[in-house]
Structure 1
Amino acid sequence: LFCRIVDRGSFSLAADELHITQPAASQQVRSLERELGTVLLDRSRRAVTPTDAGQVLYRYAREIVDLHDRLRTEIADLGELLAGEVVVGASTGPGEHVLPGLLTAFKREHPGVRVALHVDDTHAVVERVLAREFELGAVGAVSPRPDLVAEPLARDEIVLVCSPGHPWASREWVTLEELAAEPHIVQQHGAGVRTVVEDHLRRAGLPPERLNVVLEMGLMESAKQAAIAGGGVTFLSRWAIGPELRHGALVAVPVQGLRILRDFYVVRSRTRVLSKAAEALLDFFREHYAAARAPEG
């Protein structure tokens, strides 16, 4: 409970996740503070933060949680039969377009393993991996963090698209200056596509702040539907728009001097010992990525 409160910066969020009431969570922390004879959490700010004593407790408590997880994993792995459950988190790109096929293929090879997939935005997936809610995560953009391990999962291209009725639908290409002025649909902050696109635009000499943003539409699907409806141009993953491009609901528009390739990544906590089932799934991802890239070498 104490680790979850520190991780979330909130009594109420931690209590909700552990299925207890907020007063019960507060009472448990007050009892711990009485036992140790010191204040462990600073409650004076909007986000709850650990005091110096709380930082010490958090460090040791996290080690205890890690040891407990390792104990359960090693005992569960004593059996030779690969079984159990793997909880995977994913951002919308890999979660809706890459993982369903991969997880189905993995399940055929390992019928005794149950896989649960949860879709969220990239930032939330990473945080929930580090909070040990997910054994593995799949995301479209990763910021370097010392407690996170990232490996490539699948190759993707992010393309600019518009509706077939848009003036750009018949263009061979557009310039960065034209892109800056055109009404633009973006995904919410924390979305992997937005992060990658903004990074590439900066490197191409176009600060994202110059874009003429007219709609902010959450994640991939809402941005796609807004573009189909004629709300503006937007950047989307090719994985997400194959049917729309084939059937003419969207048109890909090349941008002069800009090509955005990225890898989707599988991420895990550096300090967590993976279950045998999660290790098998990670190996399966590695083999699939190597096989998919082999012709390029």
Structure 2
Amino acid sequence: MTAPAMSGTARVSAPSARRSRLVPQLTGWGFVFPATLVIVGLSLFPAVWALLLSLRDGDLLTGGDFVGLANYGDMLGDAELAAAAGHTLLYTVLFVPGSVVLGLALALALNLKIRLIGFYRTCFFVPYVVSAAATGILSNFVFDPDFGIVNAGLKALGLPAMGFLQDPDQAMLTLVAISLWGGVGMPAVVYLAALQDIPRMLIEAARVDGGAGRHVLRHVVLPQLRPATVFLLIWQTITALQLFDLVYTTTKGQPLDSTTTIVFYLYRQAFQLFHSGYGTAIAYVLFIVTLAVSGAVLWRGAK
């Protein structure tokens, strides 16, 4: 009698155990399903739709005809796209290392124990949280060749006025300077957090062994900041390759198309000239380039 009773108990408890495991899983899916639906609806579906759109020659109103990879092939002979890619590359080469190096210098300074350090940290981070559109509108007044405060200061010092955003030779450099002012807060905060995570005993041991300040920085601090540096290089590179809002609110690609970046050129093709298929193809190529660059930085940083 004992064995059959135990067998019956096992048969009854097995479904109960499965239900007890299934209920928490269903409850969890019930909580995450709305967010999952939003992500799929706002991210995956538009990405697939855009891929299909890049294979057609239609505009934003009509479907157009299926042209396969013709839009991608047209990019090879597009001189304006090549120029926009050159402008984007120049901006990336100047902005990414500049923001990382300045962010590290600021983090080292903000890591010191001085009075009002919290106030200083806030001041350097505030420009980052300000929208790029607001930054661009403000920059139009600051760098105005006739009434801007920068040229007013140059004139007060007896120096010639500059063209800044209205000079083809200075416009991109001015955009880099504006971006550094607004974007250096991100690297500073990341590096500051990484600096505070370095064990104090490690630094003190290096100093006890006779290491000078610059040697401790080079051989102890910087290696500990390697993961933060890799993250910032990837993040800032993605930010630079996707530059649009600052260009739109300041120069709109001018003067003489000297500040037309890839994303702004994409916007012009898709939403001004209504070449949505071609614009989407540019977007997908930019995505592949961004993914490749990020992967290369991540692989190099892991070595």
- TM-score (ref. length: structure 2): 0.18
Q: Which protein, 1 or 2, shows the higher relative CO under an 8 Å CA cutoff with sep ≥ 6?
A: 2
- TM-score (ref. length: structure 1): 0.19
Structure with bigger strand share is 1
Structure with bigger helix share is 2
When Rg is computed on C-alpha atoms for both structures, the one with the higher figure is 2
